[in-house]
Structure 1
Amino acid sequence: MTVALALLLLGGLTAVMAPRLLARSSWPDREPVLALWVWQCVVAAVLLCCVLAMALSAAEAWQVVRGQVFAPAPQQVLDAYALSPDGHPWAAAVAVLLFVGGAWTAAMLTREVLGARTRRRRKRRDLRTRSPLMPGEEETSGERLVVLEGERAEAWWLPGSAPRLVITTAALRRLKGRQLDSVIAHEEGHVRARHDWLLHCSSALAGGFPQVPVFRAFRHQMHRLVEMAADDVASRQHGRLTTALALVGLNEDRDVFGPCASHRTLLPQRVNRLLSPADRLPVGSRLRMTALASLVPVIPLLVAFVPGLSALG
Structure 2
Amino acid sequence: MTLTSTLLVLGGLAALLAPRLLGRGSWPEREPVLALWVWQCVVAAVLLCCVFAMALCGAAAWQEVRGQVFAPAPSEVVQAYAVHPDGRRWAAAVAVALACGGLWTAVMFGREVRAARAERRRRRAGLLARVPRLPGEEPDAGDRLLVLEDERPDAWLLPGSGPRLVITTGALRRLTGRQLDAVLAHEEGHVRARHHWLLYCAGTLARGFPGVPVFAAFRRQVHRLVELAADDAASRRFGRLTTALALVGLNEDRGVFGEASAVHRAEVPQRVSRLLHPARRLSVARRLHMTAAAAALPAIPVLVTFAPGLTALRG
TM (norm. structure 2) is 0.96
Superposed counterparts of 1:71-82, under 5 Å: 71-82=71-82
RMSD: 1.2
Say yes or no: does 1:232 pair with 2:228: no
Say yes or no: does 1:309 pair with 2:310: yes
The one-letter amino acid of 1:112's match is E
CA distance in 1, matches of 2:51, 2:124: 38
The one-letter amino acid of 1:224's match is R
The one-letter amino acid of 1:226's match is V
Match in the other structure for 2:122? 122
Distance 1:7 1:135, change over 3 A: same
Match in the other structure for 2:89? 89
Say yes or no: does 1:276 pair with 2:277: yes
Match in the other structure for 1:252? 252
Matched position secondary structure for 1:145: strand
**Identity over aligned pairs, percent:** 69
Match in the other structure for 2:241? 241
Deviation at 1:9, TM superposition (A): 0.4
Say yes or no: does 1:141 pair with 2:135: no
CA distance in 2, matches of 1:287, 1:141: 42
Deviation at 1:73, TM superposition (A): 1.9
The one-letter amino acid of 1:233's match is A
For residues 243-287 of structure 1, give each alpha carbon's deviation from its aligned partner in whole angstroms, at most 9, with x where no partner exists. Answer: 011101100011111111123331111011001100111111111
CA distance in 2, matches of 1:257, 1:187: 22
Superposed counterparts of 1:147-162, under 5 Å: 147-162=147-162
Match in the other structure for 1:34? 34
Matched position secondary structure for 2:146: strand
Matched position secondary structure for 2:166: strand
Whether contact under 8 Å (1:145, 1:166) holds in the other structure is: yes
Say yes or no: does 1:183 pair with 2:199: no
Distance 1:62 1:86, change over 3 A: farther
CA distance in 2, matches of 1:74, 1:87: 23
The one-letter amino acid of 1:293's match is A
Matched position secondary structure for 1:157: strand
Matched position secondary structure for 1:253: helix
The gaps in structure 1 that reach 5 residues or longer are none
Whether contact under 8 Å (1:155, 1:166) holds in the other structure is: yes
For residues 80-136 of structure 1, give each alpha carbon's deviation from its aligned partner in whole angstroms, at most 9, with x where no partner exists. Answer: 223224653211110000000000000000000111111111111111110012233
Match in the other structure for 2:53? 53
CA distance in 1, matches of 2:242, 2:60: 61
Match in the other structure for 1:215? 215
The gaps in structure 2 that reach 5 residues or longer are none
Match in the other structure for 2:62? 62
CA distance in 2, matches of 1:171, 1:54: 52
Matched position secondary structure for 2:253: coil
CA distance in 2, matches of 1:299, 1:223: 27
The one-letter amino acid of 1:84's match is H
TM (norm. structure 1) is 0.97
Q: Compare 187-196 and 74-83 and name the one that shifted more.
A: 74-83
For residues 179-213 of structure 1, give each alpha carbon's deviation from its aligned partner in whole angstroms, at most 9, with x where no partner exists. Answer: 11110100000001100000010001101001100
CA distance in 1, matches of 2:236, 2:298: 32
Deviation at 1:74, TM superposition (A): 2.1
Deviation at 1:142, TM superposition (A): 3.6
Whether contact under 8 Å (2:152, 2:168) holds in the other structure is: yes
Deviation at 1:161, TM superposition (A): 0.8
Whether contact under 8 Å (1:171, 1:250) holds in the other structure is: yes
The one-letter amino acid of 1:183's match is V
Q: Compare 269-278 and 168-177 and name the one that shifted more.
A: 168-177
Match in the other structure for 2:295? 294
Deviation at 1:69, TM superposition (A): 1.2
Whether contact under 8 Å (2:60, 2:88) holds in the other structure is: yes
Deviation at 1:139, TM superposition (A): 4.4
Distance 1:92 1:246, change over 3 A: same
